[in-house]
Structure 1
Amino acid sequence: MKSVLITGYKATELGIFSLKHPGIEVIKKAIKKQVIALLDEGLEWIVVSGQWGVELWAAEAVLELKSTYESLRLAVITPFLEQDENWSDEKKRLYQSVIQQANYTNSVTKSKYSGPWQFAEKNKFLLRNTDGIILVYDEEQVGSPKYMKELARQHALSRHYPIYSIQVLDLQSIAEEDQPEYW
């Protein structure tokens, strides 16, 4: 498996509105754990579209892992140009930092936002051009990743395409590992 797409919830779907929210570090740890496990299977590239939420945090996690795993590469393939145009300055700075450090950046459509069809095209393109997916999604907490999970399931019917899930229980387990025990 050479490349894996990472996607999941938007920050607002998780109730995360601050870059300092403690849940971000928990999500990044869960992603790192899954990525490290896949490195043994030949993983070279992580692909994200850079949306605000799980994808941007995944990109940060991969950039942090690159210091230890030098062969790991990050691609940011956006649905359209200037997707951060209406973001806050703080989010734009984080996004631009990720873009500058990525090994590869591109846009599926070579224009600024013109309609929801660009998200659909991005999803199809990313599924066609990756070997598996890590999805931060839990069936109990419905949200936008539901659509990508269904597309990935359909895609997996015609070719080997593993779907790795990071669910609420996984995140809770990681959060509990970080809690100091008090007597």
Structure 2
Amino acid sequence: MSDTPTPPRHSFIEDAQGLAYGSFMAAVGVLILTHLGFVTGQTAGLAVMISYSTGWSFAPVFFAVNLPFYWLGYRRFGLRFTVKSFIAVALLSVLVATLPSQISFAHLDPLIGALLFGFLTGSALLALFRHGASLGGIGIVGLYLQDKTGFRAGWTQLIFDAFLFAWAFAIRDWQSVAWSFLGALVVNLVIAINHRRDRYVV
């Protein structure tokens, strides 16, 4: 039997700053992404592709496409997670709608942009995960399907992202899609290397 004491939960203030940090960094990542005409995966990628295809603003599209996933989030992770994720998605949507009047890019190299997007978004998602939230989406569906059918959640996400990038090839130039893939790779590497439940247990 381990003598290690059970760590306390994050306080309300700690959770609030975690959600604020994660949402803000993710919003800056989205601004970089859309400024360069890149794409990404998951529901953010779906919202970006709908925005590119229709001319609709990313912010309301992102908020809307996440609405169907909250019920699954509640079923799989409970009310606390669902409320925090709703707050994070809503805050990100507001920030993406308002930050363009505060931030602009005179020049941003695609390589630097892809790396910045990857690092900022990866750190944003880490903050949200560590405070019991997410930016909604396909990951929730993947975990729900895994529980119900045994189909691995990672495969669900991979299939969905493959669809998004195939769609991107149809409407974007191949260079933008290639840089987008680099950005998505950096995001996933940041999460894979740093999101360790055996080390971060709060």
Task: Name the TM-score, length of structure 2 as normaliser.
Answer: 0.30
1 or 2 for the larger relative contact order (CA 8 Å, sep ≥6)? 2
Q: TM-score of the superposition, structure 1-length normalised?
A: 0.32
**Bigger strand fraction:** 1
Q: Which protein is richer in helix relative to its size?
A: 2
Structure of higher CA gyration radius: 2
